[in-house]
Amino acid sequence: LAKTTQPISMDSYEGQEVNITCSHNNIATNDYITWYQQFPSQGPRFIIQGYKTKVTNEVASLFIPADRKSSTLSLPRVSLSDTAVYYCLVGRYNQGGKLIFGQGTELSVKP
């Protein structure tokens, strides 16, 4: 499974757009990209998943360039409640098995 690298921490203010970039240089053809959000003492929560180009849902957008060696999670107009750890993961398409979590990006949103 491809290793991912993302910033350890980021700071933002309420109302700003936050972009968290993840690099996955060794991503394979069959790999897809998934982002999770985790609050303290809770299980990770699925945010968004994509394979290429752009994916958008009611929570976030995911931008994936043509070479797929990186991806960017975009959170529009963050609020204090978006303070959490965000994990970028790469997994095989339609293949079950373990997810490998890194340390994630600790996002702190300030008023």
Partner 1 sequence: DTGVSQNPRHKITKRGQNVTFRCDPISEHNRLYWYRQTLGQGPEFLTYFQNEAQLEKSRLLSDRFSAERPKGSFSTLEIQRTEQGDSAMYLCASSRQTATRGDTQYFGPGTRLTVL
| Residues contributing to the site for partner 1 (CB under 8 A) | 32, 34, 36, 41-46, 49, 51, 87, 91-104
Buried/exposed code over 35-72 (b: 16+ C-beta within 10 A; e: otherwise): bbbbeeeeebeebbebeeeebeeeebbbbbeeebebbb
Contact 7, 20 (CB under 8 A): yes
Minimum CB separation of residue 95 from partner 1 in Å reads 6
25 or 103: CB nearest partner 1? 103
* Nearer Cβ to partner 1 (79/103): 103
Q: Which of 88, 82, 83, 93 is nearest to 103 (CA)?
A: 88
Q: Which is nearer to partner 1, 80 or 99 (CB)?
A: 99
